[in-house]
């Protein structure tokens, strides 16, 4: 079986006949879920199982963006509501120890729900360091504005995830915090000096360089590559992400359907692979676009296979935890 180096979305609560045929034929490495795909426990579990049957791999990874706050793909009435990352930062300013413990507890509670759905990974932590005046597309999704606090809180949050059997995907490498526009709608251009970027924006990612997976930023850093956003830039991926930051895990593009990226899906895919990305991500569930991405997706090579296997090996069976205490800490955070 030839696995293709892309992660795909799907349209609804179950796979259509066309989607089933697509997955059976194209063999994407993974699936990503959105709110449109999640209605009940039973329904999500069956959707995940049907995807894995279609691609012929019981361990095919399934991803979700479950950050808390405004980026939460599962929620009431069947799942809990979680605070945004900034809630941990606010608590840290008052009681650092409690903030770190609460972040771990919340990560563990998130993992409990995701593991129950047979989800493999959550796309967090958000390691972007937002700047005053930047677009609020990041905003309170960030733990803090200070790199050291971001690293500490993210470490605790991710420890809870991993304890619960869920893998992390750090984003948006090498940093989306200075973007003045939303990359879902337009291409951000950051004109900050490389020295300032390396001493501030890149720091949380450097501290998390051992993360198994990372998602790129659709952002132009003019001091490094004025012509291409990070996702499509050899200079950013090879010189900054791989060398300066030191990340050697599985590198996933942010969603290729976002309007920050121009050109055909083949052009975007070719540039992303050439830059050094391992995996394409396409999220919107539009089957015609899914097919274009699949047609442009590479079959796994030795390097991609090695990085993918290394990431999946870090998944563990959930460890025991004090759920009642964790729920009390979650309630306290939500009441702030």
pLDDT at site 66: 98
Catalytic residue selected from 184, 210, 274, 295? 184
- Mean per-residue pLDDT for 252-270? 97
Please name the residue ranges forming H helices in 165-282: 194-196, 203-207, 234, 265-275
How many domains, in total, are found in the chain? Answer: 1
Q: Which domain covers residue 59, as residue numbers?
A: 4-334
Q: State the DSSP H helix or E strand holding residue 139, giving kind and residue range, or none if neither.
A: none
Name the DSSP class of 297.
Answer: P
Q: Above 90 in pLDDT, residue 1?
A: no
Give the Cβ contact number of residue 335 at 10 Å: 7
User: Residue 156 has what pLDDT?
Assistant: 98
Of 144, 201, 225, 254, which residue is the catalytic one? 254
How far apart are alpha carbons 170 and 162 in whole angstroms? Answer: 13
- Peptide bond connecting 257 to the previous residue in cis, omega within 30 degrees of 0: no
Q: What is the pTM of this model?
A: 0.97
Read off the pLDDT band of 132 (50, 70, 90): confident
> Any catalytic annotation for residue 176?
no
The CATH number of residue 173's host domain is 3.20.20.300
d(CA 46, CA 37): 11
Res 133: pLDDT: 87
Query: Is position 255 annotated as part of the catalytic site?
Result: no
């Amino acid at each position: 079986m030839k696995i293709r180096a892309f992660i795909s979305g799907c349209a609804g609560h179950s796979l259509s006949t066309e989607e089933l045929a697509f997955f059976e034929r194209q063999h994407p490495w993974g699936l990503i879920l959105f709110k449109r795909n999640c209605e009940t426990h039973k329904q999500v579990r069956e959707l995940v199982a049907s995807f894995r049957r279609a691609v012929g791999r019981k361990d095919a990874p399934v991803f979700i963006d479950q950050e808390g706050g405004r980026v939460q793909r599962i929620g009431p009435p069947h799942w809990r509501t979680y605070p945004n990352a900034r809630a941990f930062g606010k608590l840290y300013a008052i009681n650092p120890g409690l903030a770190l413990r609460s972040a771990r507890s919340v990560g563990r509670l998130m993992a409990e729900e995701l593991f129950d759905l047979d989800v493999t990974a959550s796309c967090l932590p958000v390691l972007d360091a937002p700047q005053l005046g930047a677009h609020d597309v990041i905003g309170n999704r960030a733990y803090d504005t200070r790199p050291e606090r971001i690293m500490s809180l993210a470490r605790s949050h991710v420890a809870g995830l991993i304890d619960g059997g869920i893998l992390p995907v750090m984003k948006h490498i090498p940093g989306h915090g200075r973007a003045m526009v939303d990359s879902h709608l337009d291409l951000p251009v950051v004109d900050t000096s490389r020295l300032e970027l390396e001493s501030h924006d890149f720091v949380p990612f450097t501290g998390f360089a051992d993360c198994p997976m990372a998602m790129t930023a659709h952002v132009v850093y003019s001091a490094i590559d004025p012509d291409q956003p990070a996702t499509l830039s050899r200079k950013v991926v090879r010189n900054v992400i791989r060398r300066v930051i030191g990340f050697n895990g599985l590198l996933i593009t942010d969603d290729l359907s976002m309007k920050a990226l121009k050109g055909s899906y083949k052009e975007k895919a070719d540039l992303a692979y050439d830059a050094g990305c391992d995996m394409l991500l396409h999220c919107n569930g539009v089957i015609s676009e899914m097919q274009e991405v699949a047609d442009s997706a590479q079959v796994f090579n030795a390097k991609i296979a090695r990085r993918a296997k290394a990431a999946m090996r870090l998944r563990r069976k959930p460890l025991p935890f004090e759920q009642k205490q964790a729920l009390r800490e979650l309630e306290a955070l939500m009441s702030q």
